[in-house]
Amino acid sequence: MTSIKISVEVKNQLTFRYNGCDTGIRTWVSHGTKEISDQLLSRMAEQLNLSRQQFPDLIDCKLDEPGLIAIYEEMRLL
């Protein structure tokens, strides 16, 4: 059975876990109220091994679990 989990084990850090294992795919988030700059969005996308075009789809929930897994499998990250 495939399962993914985004866990917060370190303050402000989101970690992608796949089948119960830490994949090393992670990013950090702020709880501030400032708008996130394009530069920071690009860095977060890079940390998650996603293109700048894929990242907004993840944020907007247009990139679903099977789609994200397919991207990571294609990149041989899983």
Q: Which residue has the higher pLDDT, 75 or 11?
A: 75
User: pLDDT tens, 64-77?
Assistant: 889 999 999 999 99
49, 72 Cβ separation under 8 angstroms: yes
pLDDT of residue 22: 85
Give 49's pLDDT tier (boundaries 50, 70, 90).
very high
Is residue 3 helix, strand or coil? Answer: coil
pTM for this one?
0.74
Of the two residues 7 and 65, the one the predictor is more confident about is 65
What pLDDT, on the 0 to 100 scale, is given for residue 42?
Answer: 92
